[in-house]
Structure 1
Amino acid sequence: MRNTYYRFPLVVAGGIAIVLTAIYFSLTNGTFDMSIKEVFQTLLRLNPNSDFDLVVFEFRLPRIVLGALVGFALGMAGAVIQGVTRNGLADPGILGINAGAGMAVVLFMFLLQGQITMSGWLGVMMMPMFGVAGGLAATTAIFMFAREGGKLDPQRLILVGIAIASGFGAITMFFSLKMNPSDYEMAVAWLAGSLHSANWKFVVTMLPWLIILPPVIWFRSQVLDLFQLSEESVKSVGVSVEREKNILLLCSIGLISASVAVSGSIGFVGLIAPHLARQLVGLRHRHIIPVSGIAGMAIVIIGDFIGRTIFAPAELAAGIVVSVIGVPYFIYLLIRMRK
């Protein structure tokens, strides 16, 4: 315990250093390379240059900031879902929450195509609300079908989640195919988990969710520790199990839905980040939650950087890059948990 206590600040410092390094490479590298001196001069408004301003403030910086916010939200939400379900394989993407939120946002695009600008304030602010509704629908379906004898069955949870994700994915595909060609292209790129369309409006949209929900989760970290025991044990210490589960799951759904609304479905961040956090700082959720958020930030920023540069001038969505890592990691965890 003492060792873990001292390790936590070191891990946080190391994680922040990795994130800052990833930001450095993302800001300076790309189709238009810049030196660190040019980046700092642009940020500090020394010798302003219109080309540098365009690259930094319009293209790269909003993309990096949005990737960091989305990664933080998904990493934290993954830690909550794994804690509530007591299932190390639980992930917003695998459980179908991403798919539910994505389906609702595509439905929003389909119903209002041509009437609302998706990058305008009204469209940007409404998309997370539709995402929350879709995420809640997916979670309700999961809890209806994954319970056995009044309790959540961890193995059934994964199977139900995969089925729900497939169902919502089919509905999403149906609506996207009904769109006109330009909206369909936008929907497909968005569903792949791309940060290509990132802008400051998306960043502003994410901020309220990240200001309100993470503190609520963090202050309930001790409850997540208790959830690792049996439900009877948790009830015996006076914890209202269902109420706390609902609050924590609603917070995680809010974070996931806001993320999906602005970046599409970036899967496996909520699976990988909590596992890295547990290996680094132990089993206390007071430590796991912030470290999961920092790990999620690093994963998304690095994934987006790889997708943007390795195939340049073509671009690969961050969601695809993360999935290339996430699928083998999921299979590895599945094999390890069966032993």
Structure 2
Amino acid sequence: MSREIVKQRKFIQLAFILLILLFTGMYVSLTHGEFTMTISDVIRTLIGIDQNREHQLVIFEFRLPRVIIALFVGLGLGIAGAVIQALTRNELADPGILGINAGAGVAVVIYMYAVSRMDVSNELLSTFSMPFFGLIGGTITALFIYGFSWTHGRLDSNRLLLVGIAAGSGLGAISLYISLKMNPQDFEAATMWMTGTIWNANWNKIISILPWFCFLLPIMFLRASHLDLFYLGEDTAKNVGVSTEREKSIWLLGSVGLISACVSVSGSIGFIGLLSPHIARSLVGLHHRKVLAVSGLIGMVLVTFGDFIAKTVFSPVELPVGVVIAIIGIPYFIYLLKKKLNK
């Protein structure tokens, strides 16, 4: 049996295991909570056989939108993290740590503040507009960090990390300052949102981010082979005729677009873009078409289980899912940082 066939079988087995974990997370999220349902109740409600109004309300208004948002956020942040790590060739790079989440977040907070001042009543229009503001804020932040991390004709990974952490801290302070100007109700919502939460998921939010994923993901997977070259070094990409500046712009805008869409519906959830790609590369190597797929699946599993833990562990009090992910992510980041410094 050839080596490629063995690798392909291992990849299929890995994807199957991750899908089992994902469906397990979806199962516990849909059946468990303040109101417990059996899997039979859930299936009958989903296919329209069960006409119990209480079951329909719990599934279609609360739990199912929340699960779908968790899947999209995990998928988007996992893939965006893999892209940023490949472009920067830095395994510590993460949209949250580098401040890109904070950049998208501060733009969305400004938008929320402006909408609250203008008393805009069209919720659907407001929800659709948020990812665009996030894209603007995230792109400006990414360009700022990228520009300040460029030295002697190359991207300095250590400077990238330091500039990103500084930018993230500063932008987080700006977001907090703006939120303090809001009325108490909007301030509470903004504070919960900044810590990373999907408790108020609804179908409008799902509709607002769906076009971003449908447009950006196919482009990323079709061009994934270019990331293999970038991870080996920019000179390698140039030597095979890749227009590196053009490719970097496409990848940067694509990843920031995904991040902005995720931030607009879940707030700033950090460490998914750090954990998922690192675990994916350790499992499938450096073939980025596989890395993107596995990283996205791992991100979906992490956010789905993280949200389930957030809403059940201290029930009826609910933790933001961003706090749960941070409890896992911070020790892992320290481990990676220590490993990098010891090289």
TM category, shorter:
over 0.9
> Residue by residue, what CA displacement relative to the aligned partner does 1:32-82 show, whole Å, maximum 9, x if unpaired?
000111111111111310000010000000000011011100000000000
The answer to whether the 8 Å contact 1:195/1:318 transfers is: yes
Partner of 1:214: 217
Residue 150 of structure 1 aligns to which amino acid in structure 2?
Answer: G
Please point out which of 85, 92, 96 is paired with 1:93: 96
Match of 1:282 in 2: 285
Q: Deviations over 1:269-316 (max 9, x none)?
A: 000000111121111101000111111001001000000001000000
User: Would you say the 8 A contact 1:119–1:201 is kept in 2?
Assistant: no
8 Å CA contact 1:22, 1:298 repeated in 2 = yes
CA–CA distance in structure 2, aligned partners of residues 310 and 116 of structure 1? 36
Q: Do the aligned partners of residues 207 and 118 (structure 1) sit closer, same or farther apart at CA in structure 2, a change above 3 Å counting?
A: farther
Q: Does 1:260 align with 2:263?
A: yes
2:45 pairs, out of 39, 42, 64, with: 42
| Cα shift readout 1:68-98 (whole Å, capped 9, x = no counterpart) | 0111000000000000100000000000000
Among all aligned residue pairs of Structure 1 and Structure 2, give the percentage whose two residues are the same amino acid: 50
* Pairs within 5 Å for 1:7-26: 7-26=10-29
- Structural mapping, 1:224-263, within 5 Å: 224-263=227-266
Cα deviation, residue 5, structure 1: 2.4
Note if 1:63 corresponds to 2:32: no
1:191 counterpart (187, 191, 194):
194
Among 149, 152, 168, the residue aligned to 1:149: 152
| SS of the residue 2:232 aligns to | coil
8 Å Cα contact 1:16/1:294 also seen in 2: yes
Distance (Å, rounded) in 1 between the aligned partners of 2:204 and 2:112:
17
Counterparts of 2:261 and 2:30, CA distance in 1: 25
Please say if residues 116 and 122 of structure 1, whose CA atoms lie closer than 8 Å, have aligned partners that are also in contact.
no
Shift of 1:118: 8.1
Equivalent residue number for residue 137 of structure 1: 140
**Distance in structure 1 (CA, Å) of the matches to 2:122 and 2:193:** 13
Question: Separation in 2 of the partners of 1:301 and 1:229?
Answer: 33
Alignment-mate amino acid for residue 237 of structure 2: V
5+ residue gaps in structure 2?
none
Secondary structure of 2:116's aligned partner: coil
Q: d(CA) in 1 for partners of 2:319 and 2:122?
A: 21
Is the CA contact 1:66–1:198 (under 8 Å) kept in the aligned structure 2?
Answer: yes
Under a length normalisation based on structure 2, what TM-score does the superposition of the two structures give?
0.97
Q: What is the CA–CA distance in structure 1 between the aligned matches of 2:7 and 2:191, rounded to whole Å?
A: 44
Measured in 2, the distance between the counterparts of 1:89 and 1:320 equals 19
Paired with 2:302 and 2:232, the residues of 1 have a C-alpha distance of 30
Q: Which residue of 2 is the match for residue 323 of structure 1? A: 326
- Assess if the C-alpha contact under 8 Å between 1:116 and 1:123 holds in 2: no
Structure 2 letter corresponding to 1:306: I
Partner Cα separation in structure 1 for residue 290 and residue 237 of structure 2 = 20
5+ unaligned residues in a row in structure 1: which ranges? Answer: none
CA distance in 1: counterparts of 2:153 and 2:146, whole angstroms: 10
Aligned residue for 2:31? 28
| Count of equivalent residues | 339
Q: Which residue of 2 aligns with 1:174?
A: 177
Q: Aligned Cα RMSD in Å?
A: 1.2
User: Partners in 2 of 1:146 and 1:47 — Cα distance?
Assistant: 57
What is the alpha-carbon distance in structure 2 between the residues aligned to residue 135 and residue 109 of structure 1? 16
How far residue 6 of structure 1 moved from its aligned partner, in angstroms, is 2.1
Contact (CA 8 Å) 2:41, 2:50: kept in 1 or not? no
Amino acid at match of 2:199: H
Please state if 1:73 is matched with 2:76. Answer: yes
Amino acid in the other structure paired with 1:328: P
